[in-house]
Amino acid sequence: MSVYSWKTLLTVGIALLLFPLALACGGDDEDEPFRIGVMESATGPGETYGTVAIQAKEMAVEEINAAGGINGRMIELIVEDSKCSAQDAITAYNKLTDVDGVKIILGTSCSGAMLGAAPLAERDGVILFSGLATNPDIAEAGDYIFRTSLNDAQLGVDTGNLLWADGVRTLATISESTDYAEGVRRTTVEQFEQRGGEVVGEERYASDATDFRTSLTKLFSENPDALHIASQSEFAGGTIVKQARELGYEGPIYSEIVPIGTTALEIAGDAATGLKAVITDIDPANEKGQEVLSNFRERYGYITLPWYLGSAYDDVYIAAECLKETGDDQDADGFRDCLYEITWSGAIGDDYSFDERGEVVGLTNVVVEVLPVSERNEDNNGYRVLGPAPGS
């Protein structure tokens, strides 16, 4: 007979499986830290943003704790992966609220995950506070739902106005089939047409597409005054710009933030020079913002999506301020009231606050222009700010 009898195996197996129960026992209630849940996309389509958001939040918490915490109490982050999906956001949410007992959750990175968890948060009276989700639908998600990220609808309005102000009268658009990119395209076109412009071509692509020449050739055959790109992934954004120039297109290109990300500009190279984008950006004159970026680069060795990094960072400090006021991490109602009343100055801007729908007010988009390759560096992120987005 084998040295491994099935009864031995069974006993060892049960002992191993029940081991976590022993870990759960014990604990001291005194001087417990404030516990805050974090739901970001550590994996899945939003991994780039999610990882930056987690790291920015960890950095902020370490700073606060190193400075003595909140009235002597430390902050503890409990991080869960929401994978950019509604189902995973729901299980992550239930783990945070049922197992860890948190009432304040910072996240999520993706709008789909946010819209999945928001009804539960609203029902349970749990704060869901995002620095990155931009889908316009979130504005109506409820009383406990807040965000420091700007609504895509505003981005589209600003882009439509910019196109018109720049003399563009006929436009071709190419957009990724995601909620973010589709939202930007739709609101941009709506505003552009409202101003009197005409859309002469629209193309969409799946997130795994790598060759856009056919779509671009079709769009350029309509002789548009300008091309607008709305992309979810930097790879696609950079590749579209590069292939557009390779096809001989010399007209102006407009976009949102993704096609001017670090990776996208590396892919596009000089083809991206002169591209104009409407983005949220950390003001070079904002000392706090520059300090945060500098500390982040020193700590993690890279910078990407600086504004979203700053937004995630600010969320932790805003949460700390409200926890200082309520003194209780279980008081979601007090925390919500604090958010409605607070006016904050941080990495992403000065004197911003939240309206009755939990939408951030006091922050604006800016227009940037991509610099030639020779002028791009870590400090300017490859572009220069032309000024605030034009109003209607």
Partner 1 sequence: MSLITQAMRGLRASGPLRGIPRANVERIATILVLVWAVGFMLWQGAGFTITLTTVFAIWAILAVSLNLVVGFTGLLSVGHIGFFGIGAYTMAILASDASYDQLRTESIPTPDWPFFAALPIGIAIAGLVALGVGVVFNRFRDDIFVLVSFGFAIISFSFFLNLRELTRGAFGIHEIPRPAFGGWVLDGEVEFLAFALVCLALVVLICWLIVTSSFGRVLTAIREDEEAIAVFGYRVTHFKLAVWVLSAMMAGLAGALFASWTSFIDPNSFILLESMLLTAIVILGGLATIWGSLLGALAFVLLEEGMRFLPFLPPEFVGQARQVVLGVLLVVLMLFRPQGLVGRYQL
Of 63, 65, 91, 143, the residue at the interface with partner 1 (CB under 8 A) is 91
What's the helix, strand, coil split of the chain in %, to 5?
Answer: 45, 20, 35
For 259, which DSSP code?
Answer: G
Is residue 13 involved in binding partner 1 (CB under 8 A)? Answer: yes
Of 32, 140, 341, 378, the residue at the interface with partner 1 (CB under 8 A) is 140
- Least distance (Å) between residue 123 CB and partner 1: 8
- Backbone φ and ψ of 98, nearest 5°: -85, -40
Is residue 295 involved in binding partner 1 (CB under 8 A)? Answer: no
Residue type, position 280, single letter: T
**Element at 299 (helix H, strand E):** helix 287-300
Is residue 278 involved in binding partner 1 (CB under 8 A)? Answer: no
With respect to partner 1, which residue has the nearer C-beta, 96 or 338?
A: 96
Is residue 156 involved in binding partner 1 (CB under 8 A)? Answer: yes
Stretch that binds partner 1, among 88-96, 218-226, 313-321, 383-391 (CB under 8 A): 88-96
Task: Provide the token pair at 317.
Answer: 């400090």
d(CA 43, CA 82): 8
Is residue 125 involved in binding partner 1 (CB under 8 A)? Answer: no
Is residue 17 involved in binding partner 1 (CB under 8 A)? Answer: yes
Look at the alpha carbons of 81, 37, 132, 138 in this order and tell me if their dihedral is positive or negative.
Answer: positive
Is residue 20 involved in binding partner 1 (CB under 8 A)? Answer: yes
250 strand-pairing partners: none
Stretch that binds partner 1, among 76-84, 125-133, 271-279, 304-312 (CB under 8 A): 76-84
Is residue 161 involved in binding partner 1 (CB under 8 A)? Answer: no
With respect to partner 1, which residue has the nearer C-beta, 143 or 225?
A: 143
Of 36, 75, 127, 153, the residue at the interface with partner 1 (CB under 8 A) is 153
With respect to partner 1, which residue has the nearer C-beta, 10 or 247?
A: 10
Q: Which of residues 164-193 bind partner 1 (CB under 8 A)?
A: 177-183, 186-187, 190
112 close to 45: Cβ distance less than 8 angstroms: no
With respect to partner 1, which residue has the nearer C-beta, 177 or 221?
A: 177
DSSP strands (E only) in the chain: 34-40, 75-81, 104-107, 127-130, 145-147, 170-176, 198-205, 226-230, 253-255, 276-279, 344-346, 349-354, 360-361, 366-370, 383-388
- Backbone φ and ψ of 5, nearest 5°: -75, 155
Is residue 1 involved in binding partner 1 (CB under 8 A)? Answer: yes
- Least distance (Å) between residue 83 CB and partner 1: 7
Of 107, 112, 238, 259, the residue at the interface with partner 1 (CB under 8 A) is 112
Q: In what order do the strands lie in the sheet with 226-230?
A: 198-205, 170-176, 226-230, 253-255, 276-279, 366-370, 383-388
Pairing of strands 145-147, 127-130: parallel
Of 59, 70, 75, 86, the residue at the interface with partner 1 (CB under 8 A) is 86
Please give the angle made by the CA atoms of 174, 175 and 179, to the nearest 5 degrees: 165
Burial 340-357 (b: 16+ CB within 10 A, else e): eeeebebbbbeebebeeb
d(CA 255, CA 313): 25
With respect to partner 1, which residue has the nearer C-beta, 156 or 289?
A: 156
Q: Which of residues 339-378 bind partner 1 (CB under 8 A)?
A: none
Of 35, 36, 37, 45, the residue at the interface with partner 1 (CB under 8 A) is 45
Is residue 136 involved in binding partner 1 (CB under 8 A)? Answer: yes
Could you give the count of Cα atoms lying within 13 Å of 306 in the half-sphere of its Cβ?
A: 29
With respect to partner 1, which residue has the nearer C-beta, 54 or 272?
A: 54
- Least distance (Å) between residue 176 CB and partner 1: 8
Of 59, 84, 278, 368, the residue at the interface with partner 1 (CB under 8 A) is 84
Is residue 203 involved in binding partner 1 (CB under 8 A)? Answer: no
Q: Where do contacts with partner 1 occur on this chain (CB under 8 A)? A: 1-2, 4-6, 9-10, 13-14, 17-18, 20-21, 23-24, 38, 41-43, 45, 47, 50-51, 54-55, 58, 77, 79-81, 83-87, 90-92, 94-95, 97-99, 112, 115-116, 119, 135-137, 139-140, 153, 156, 177-183, 186-187, 190, 204, 206
